[in-house]
Structure 1
Amino acid sequence: MYKHAFSSFITALLLAWGTIPSHAHAENASTPTITGQWITEDGKGVFDIHSCGDKMCGNLVGLNLTQDEEASSRRKTECNLQMLKGFHPMEDRHDHWKGHIFDPQSKNTYDAIVWVAEDGSLKLHGFLGLELFGRTDTWQPFHGHIGNNCRINP
C-alpha cells in the first residue's frame, strides 16, 4: 500500500516537474519586448530600439525641437545617432536589459538598464558605476509619424 502511494507521489511529482520548464518558457514568451519606437519622457525625442547582432541598440530617429533648437545645426546632427548600445539580457533579471547610453550634449556614456513596465511603458535607468546613483526616465510607445528632417508629427 505504501509502495503504491509512494510510486503515485513520485509519478505526480515528475509530471509536475515536467511542466515547470514549459510554464517558465510560456512566461518568457509573453514578456514584453523593448523593441520598437519610444517617445522620451519630455516628448522631445523618439528612439527606435532594434536588434543589432546578438544585442539591442537604439537610434534617435525623431526630434521635437523648439525654434531656437531648430536654428542650431548641432541638434539636427543628432538625428539617427545611435545612443543606446550593447544592451543584453541581465542574468539575474531576465526582463531587464543592460547596456550603455550616450549623451551627445555632455559627450558622456553611462551604464543603463531598460525594461518594459507593467503599464507598457519603457523604463530607462541611467547611472555611472552604481545603480543606486542614477535616474530613471519613463518612455511611452510612439504611435505618431516621423516627418522630414527627423521632425516628430504626433
Structure 2
Amino acid sequence: MKTLRVWLLLAVLFLPLVLSAQNNPDSVIGVWKNGEGTGMVQIYKKGDKYFGKIVWLKVPNNPDGTPRTDVNNPDEKLRSRPLKGLENLRDFVAKGDNKWEEGKIYEPKSGNDYSCEMKLVDENTLEVRGFIGVSLFGRTDVWKRQVKKA
C-alpha cells in the first residue's frame, strides 16, 4: 500500500510536467535526422508557423568536390541552388496533441512537393508524413532529434 501511495504521489507531481511538454507547440523546434540518416533538418518558427531547412548532409559534395545542388528540381532556374540551407519544410500550423499540419515538404531526391503532417511521438521521435491529396495516400518517415531548440 505504501508503494502505491508513492507511485500516485510521483504521478501527481510529474504528470503536469509531461502534459505541458506534450502541449507545447514549440516542442518540435530543433535539429532532426531523417530516417535514412542522410540528412538533418533544423525546424524553427517564423511568426506562428513552423519551417525547416537542411543543415547537414551525409554526402555534402558531388564527386568533383562541389556542393550538392537541387538537380532534380522541376524548375531549371532552381537546379543550381545548394541543398545545404534549402528550406524543405514550410507553413506548418500547430494543431495540439503534438501535431503540426497544413504544411508542405519538398523532397530534393525526387524534386517533388508534398502536403505534410508531423507528429511528435515522444521527445526525440518525430513522424513526418508526406502525401498527395489525403494523408491516407502517403509515406511516413521517422526522424530522430539531434539537438533541441537549435
Q: What TM-score bracket applies, with the shorter chain setting the length?
A: 0.5 to 0.7
Q: Once the 2 structures are TM-superposed, how far is the Cα of residue 104 of structure 1 from its aligned partner?
A: 2.4
Give the match for residue 134 of structure 2. Answer: 130
Pick from 4, 17, 21 the counterpart of residue 30 of structure 1: 21
Deviations, residues 70-101 of structure 1 (Å, cap 9, x unaligned): 746444810000000000023xx532101110
Pick from 45, 53, 64 the counterpart of residue 58 of structure 2: 64
Contact 2:52–2:88 (CA<8 Å) still a contact in 1?
A: yes
Q: Once the 2 structures are TM-superposed, how far is the Cα of residue 51 of structure 1 from its aligned partner?
A: 0.4
| Counterpart secondary structure, 1:131 | coil
Pick from 102, 118, 121 the counterpart of residue 122 of structure 2: 118
| Counterpart secondary structure, 2:28 | coil
Deviations, residues 26-54 of structure 1 (Å, cap 9, x unaligned): 76522161110001111110100000111
Structure having the larger proportion of residues in strand: 2
| Counterpart secondary structure, 2:85 | coil
What is the CA RMSD across the aligned residues, in angstroms? Answer: 2.6
Which 10-residue stretch deviates more, 41-50 or 118-127? Answer: 118-127
User: Is the alpha carbon distance of 1:63 and 1:135 closer, same or farther for their aligned partners in structure 2, counting shifts above 3 Å?
Assistant: same
Contact 2:61–2:68 (CA<8 Å) still a contact in 1?
A: no
Count of residue correspondences:
117
Deviations, residues 83-137 of structure 1 (Å, cap 9, x unaligned): 00000023xx532101110122333210111111136311101101011111100
| Counterpart secondary structure, 1:42 | coil
Amino acid corresponding to residue 98 of structure 2 in structure 1:
D
| Counterpart secondary structure, 2:37 | coil
Amino acid corresponding to residue 120 of structure 2 in structure 1:
V
Give the match for residue 83 of structure 1. Answer: 88
State the structure with bigger RCO (CA 8 A, min sep 6), 1 or 2.
2
User: Is the alpha carbon distance of 1:34 and 1:74 closer, same or farther for their aligned partners in structure 2, counting shifts above 3 Å?
Assistant: same
Residue identity (%): 28
Amino acid corresponding to residue 97 of structure 1 in structure 2:
W
| Counterpart secondary structure, 1:142 | strand
Pick from 96, 100, 104 the counterpart of residue 97 of structure 1: 100
Deviations, residues 124-151 of structure 1 (Å, cap 9, x unaligned): 01101011111100111115xxxxxxxx
Question: Normalising to structure 1: TM-score of the pair?
Answer: 0.66
